Chain A
Amino acid sequence: MTVIIWGTVALLATAALLGLVQVMTAPNDASRAVVGDLIYFCAVGIFIMIALEYESVVIFDVASVAALLGILATIALSRILTRGRR
């Protein structure tokens, strides 16, 4: 079981690192916004897996709140991209 969990965490960490590389090399702001979103999901996934390793029931609170509220950053970024216009 722990092999599965740490294997998943390793895959997600690689995805997050790739995202970080892309944030630095992204040509325009829109790409950085998208990659920021991807790194956010990798972080949520890593948290879910590590909380599963330590058998804490907070996994599902974090997952639902992260899924519901975490996307506000994307909405804010898209509003920044269009300089405040709708």
Chain B
Amino acid sequence: MMDLVVLVLVGVLAIGGSATVLMSSLAMLRATDAVSRVNVLSPATGVGMPSLVLAAWLQWSYENGLDWLVSFKSLVAIVAFVVVSSVASNTLGRATLRSGAPLDPRTEPNHLAREPD
């Protein structure tokens, strides 16, 4: 019985995570400008990758027993996927704006377009 519960949980986490990555990849196709592509990357790194690592951790610790080092590494991976990639996306978004990539005219609010008051 426990096998089934773990199997379903790992399946939901893994398939759900990779479906989120696929969804953000599809959304990138539909995005109109580079800044919204940077924006759309966040579901993949915020939800998709951490749930993949969670699925791997759950499956591994179910098979081989709970190991604190493995749990620590997967915790570091999950926090890094959420935090570090957001910082990098912010940097990339800022660089995109400064490099003059065309912005969707419907972007609102766009404080950078106006003169600094």
Residues of A near any B CB (own CB < 8 A) = 1, 4-5, 7-9, 11-12, 14-16, 18-19, 22, 27-31, 33-35, 37-38, 41-42, 44-45, 48-49, 51-52, 55, 57, 59-61, 63-64, 66-68, 71, 74-75, 77-79, 81-83, 85
- Other-chain contact of B91, A42, A75, A83 (Cβ < 8 Å): A75
Which residues of chain B have C-beta atoms less than 8 A from A4's C-beta?
Answer: 7, 10-11, 14-15
Cβ distance A86 to chain B, nearest Cβ, rounded Å: 9
A35 to B96, CA, bound (A): 13
Q: Contact check, B24 vs A28: say whether CB atoms are below 8 A apart.
A: no
- Other-chain contact of B15, A7, A44, A78 (Cβ < 8 Å): A7
Which residues of chain B have C-beta atoms less than 8 A from A14's C-beta?
Answer: 22, 25
A4 to B59, CA, bound (A): 11
Cβ distance A42 to chain B, nearest Cβ, rounded Å: 6
**Total count of chain B residues near the partner, CB < 8 A:** 55
A45 to B87, CA, bound (A): 20
Q: Contact check, A28 vs B57: say whether CB atoms are below 8 A apart.
A: no
Q: How many A-B residue pairs have CB under 8 A?
A: 180
Which residues of chain B have C-beta atoms less than 8 A from A52's C-beta?
Answer: 55-56, 59-60
Residues of B near any A CB (own CB < 8 A) = 7, 10-11, 14-15, 17-19, 21-22, 24-26, 28-29, 34-35, 37-38, 41, 44-45, 48-49, 52-53, 55-57, 59-60, 63-64, 70, 73-74, 76-78, 80-81, 84-85, 87-89, 91-92, 94-96, 98-99, 101-102
A15 to B85, CA, bound (A): 18
Q: Contact check, A11 vs B85: say whether CB atoms are below 8 A apart.
A: no
A71 with B85, Cβ < 8 A, contacts A38-B28, A49-B14 known:
yes
- Other-chain contact of B7, A1, A16, A34, A68 (Cβ < 8 Å): A1
- Other-chain contact of B70, A19, A49, A57, A77 (Cβ < 8 Å): A57
